[in-house]
Structure 1
Amino acid sequence: MIVARTLTLYVGRRFLTATFAMLVALTLLVSMFDFIELLRRAATRPDATFALVASIAGLRMPFVGMQILPFAILLGGIVAFWRLTRSSELIVARAAGISAWGFLSGPVVVALLFGATAVMAISPLSSAMLARAERLDASYLRAGGGVTALAGGRLWLRQADREFDAGGTAILSGRPERLLGTDRHAQFSLTDVTVWRLSSRDRSLGRIEAPKGELMPGRWVLEDAVVFGADRQPRPAQTLEIPTDLTPDRIEDSFASPDTLSFWALPGFIAVLEHAGFSALRHRLQFQSLLSMPALAMTMALLAAGFSMRNSRRGGVAQTIAAGVSAGFGLFVLDRITGEFGEAGTLPVWLAAWAPTAAGLLLAIALLLHLEDG
């Protein structure tokens, strides 16, 4: 039907304009507060110039935009549908026999494109820029010495070790010659290195002591290494090589936030983490959250319609819109709670990531059914 198609495109265009304007406005607002907070932290740092702080805030903007995208879709949709309802355009369309499910297909498709674009295109840019911002923050604004400060300046790593046992593990400890986050492309090396080699049943297979170890492509090279076997007797010092899947970037990323990894890089990095014996719960949760982003965006569009398409002559419009905003905050709180349970391993990762989307979708469908048929 030509009229329905034209109306769908018209409503979709109005929804796109309002949502994009809301996304830009909210991103700028949140980034401004982030910039002010960075300025406060930089006040006691003589090396942190205004340009540096502005660069960090600018690098964080795509990440901020991705975080507030669902809420921007909800608020932008509420504004768009409320304006269309106040001008009686949607009321006339529904009186003419056009179902709300028909003209809502335009906004739903727009929201789906917003979510898919954010995941597939913006995520790689956001993760790269956020990683750069985190390295600048660690170098100039943070008081501590990075993750190594948690263990007295020593770095602890774990990797697979199948030289003596198919399920063996090697635990490496040493002092990095550069602080994590300062120079991404510098050669990675450790001093005062200790390596514990364990079997699949966590039985000690030996220990290695070396004054220095360098991470080369595909292997650790330990200089003047002394090997202590199961009998605890030392062997003559020699240069040893231990195969590894670790790289300097992967070591950096294993301590960094999963937000610094793009949607496309997460599956491979999760496999590397689990192969090395690390927990990948946070990264799995991040991957599932990104997968759910398009569905969450569509849910927010439907929620906006359900809370803002009420006839203004019936009264209570302000309360209804306020209820829509409250529902958005409620889903945000639910997402935080389920995320905490997911990271702790209490909930399955897929359930923790998809529960807010499912809850919001059920609420939106109930509201629209009541609005259309009630």
Structure 2
Amino acid sequence: MSVLSRYVMRAVIGYTLLVLLVLLVLNGLYMLITEQDDIGTGNYGATSALLFVGLNLPQTAFDMLPIAALIGSLLSLGNLARSMELVVIRAAGVSVARIGAWVFGAGVLLMALTWVLGEYVAPPMEQYAREMKTFQKFQDYSMAGNRAAWAKDGNTILSVQRQSAANNFGGVYVFQFDAQHRLRSVGRAGSASIDAQNSWELTDYRQSKIEADRIVPEQHASASLKTNVSAEFLGLAAIKPDAMPVQALFSYVSHLKRNGLDARSAETAMWARIARTIAVAIIVVLAVPFAFGPMRSTGTGARTVVGIMVGVVFLLLAKLMDSSGAIFDLPPIVVGWTPTFLLAVITAIAVSRVR
């Protein structure tokens, strides 16, 4: 590795980490403000809120790294262009493709950082943050489980296999006991929703009542259940595919397919997580055409705005594909990879046009 390559890569990585730090500070302040409504509930105080925000910052860093990488590469290469350092490098016989390879090398290192955050740091810290906050706010419930949430409320035990939205759950089991702790009924709902009063609306509910000498099966299109267990508490251990590491998602998808269950949302989240990580190495190269093109003499503010706009468009496209995949029944691999593929094509075309 030459001195010039290390110099360019160090500039890109340094500016990216600086931009990421600024984004984390701003996002942390916003998260702390949103936590004000919960401070004072149970044992959840200001110190707990600060800890909750800090534990969520690695996940924020994982989500923000593509935008930070683009802005950081725009700023670093833009400053090199304004100070004529890129001109000197080109005059020394270094091609644009070679400079792009150096920037891509910096992107690979940032991609490795993204992978470490997304696989080993962010998921357990975010999970611990949710547990810490929930148990400090709600002290009257018990909960167990890893791949499913198990919650006990009086003589009722609830089990939730997955969480599809903030107040919507799937694969809900209801176990009801009498005062002597004897099982009286077992029910399963295909899906359930919870309102603000913790009243459950169970859809496609099938129940088996256990009587003295027989079991009575029942089936209802919908049923209601009143419980003190909130959506926030029950969603604590339910599956949220977009917050799971790739290894756990792969195992979860395999489990769903083996049991004949719908694995599209989890599989889409798996491919999207992989593609988003790889996109970090690609998106930094997109700054190369700007460094040699019309933005080489523009100010820092203009390049920052462009970086934010491109990053926001990329994230919006990813969200749009997630929604379109569910509506139009697109293959999960297509939904997950389309934004990154389009980004790679645009980057390749833009770099190839630089002279």
TM-score (norm 2): 0.71
Flag structure 1 segments of 5+ consecutive residues without an equivalent: 160-169, 178-188, 197-205, 212-223, 231-250
Asked if the contact 1:7/1:103 (under 8 Å) is kept, the reply is no
Aligned to 1:53: 49
Q: Does 1:173 align with 2:165?
A: no
Distance 1:74 1:111 in 2: 10
CA gap of 1:308–1:275, structure 2 versus 1, over 3 A, is same
CA gap of 1:157–1:88, structure 2 versus 1, over 3 A, is closer
Distance 1:336 1:357 in 2: 12
Greater shift, 112-121 or 356-365, is seen at: 112-121
Aligned to 2:263: 280
Q: What secondary structure does 1:8 align onto?
A: helix
Aligned to 1:162: none
1:81 maps to which of 73, 77, 87: 77
CA gap of 1:190–1:308, structure 2 versus 1, over 3 A, is farther
What do the CA deviations read for 1:286-312 (whole angstroms, capped 9, x no partner)? 211221134201221111222233366
Q: Does 1:70 align with 2:48?
A: no
Asked if the contact 1:307/1:367 (under 8 Å) is kept, the reply is no
Residue 282 of structure 1 deviates from its aligned partner by 2.5
Query: What amino acid maps onto 2:8 in structure 1?
Result: V
What do the CA deviations read for 1:230-275 (whole angstroms, capped 9, x no partner)? 9xxxxxxxxxxxxxxxxxxxx9787232244222222112222333
Q: What secondary structure does 1:264 align onto?
A: helix
Query: What amino acid maps onto 2:26 in structure 1?
Result: L
Asked if the contact 1:307/1:324 (under 8 Å) is kept, the reply is no
Aligned to 1:91: 87
Alignment of 1:191-270 (within 5 A): 192-194=184-186, 208-210=208-210, 226-227=214-215, 255-270=238-253
Asked if the contact 2:295/2:303 (under 8 Å) is kept, the reply is no
Residue 154 of structure 1 deviates from its aligned partner by 7.1
Alignment of 1:1-374 (within 5 A): 5-38=2-35, 40-43=36-39, 45-120=41-116, 122-140=118-136, 155=158, 172-174=173-175, 192-194=184-186, 208-210=208-210, 226-227=214-215, 255-310=238-293, 322-344=305-327, 346-372=329-355
Residue 349 of structure 1 deviates from its aligned partner by 1.2
Asked if the contact 1:11/1:107 (under 8 Å) is kept, the reply is yes
Distance 2:259 2:71 in 1: 43
Greater shift, 18-27 or 257-266, is seen at: 257-266
Distance 1:129 1:175 in 2: 34
Aligned length: 302
Distance 2:276 2:325 in 1: 17
Asked if the contact 1:111/1:294 (under 8 Å) is kept, the reply is no
CA gap of 1:54–1:317, structure 2 versus 1, over 3 A, is closer
Asked if the contact 2:39/2:46 (under 8 Å) is kept, the reply is no
Q: What is the CA RMSD across the aligned residues, in angstroms? A: 3.9
Asked if the contact 2:32/2:50 (under 8 Å) is kept, the reply is yes
Q: Relative contact order (C-alpha < 8 Å, sep 6+): which is higher? A: 2
Query: What amino acid maps onto 1:29 in structure 2?
Result: L
Residue 55 of structure 1 deviates from its aligned partner by 1.6
What do the CA deviations read for 1:74-128 (whole angstroms, capped 9, x no partner)? 0110110011001101112223331111022222122122223322454222111
CA gap of 1:269–1:191, structure 2 versus 1, over 3 A, is farther
CA gap of 1:343–1:99, structure 2 versus 1, over 3 A, is same
How much identity, in percent, do the aligned residues show? 18
Flag structure 2 segments of 5+ consecutive residues without an equivalent: 144-148, 163-170, 189-205, 219-233
Distance 2:101 2:25 in 1: 29
* Bigger Rg, structure 1 or 2: 1
TM-score (norm 1): 0.68
Aligned to 1:183: none
Asked if the contact 1:71/1:328 (under 8 Å) is kept, the reply is yes
Query: What amino acid maps onto 2:48 in structure 1?
Result: L
Asked if the contact 1:305/1:368 (under 8 Å) is kept, the reply is yes
CA gap of 1:126–1:36, structure 2 versus 1, over 3 A, is same
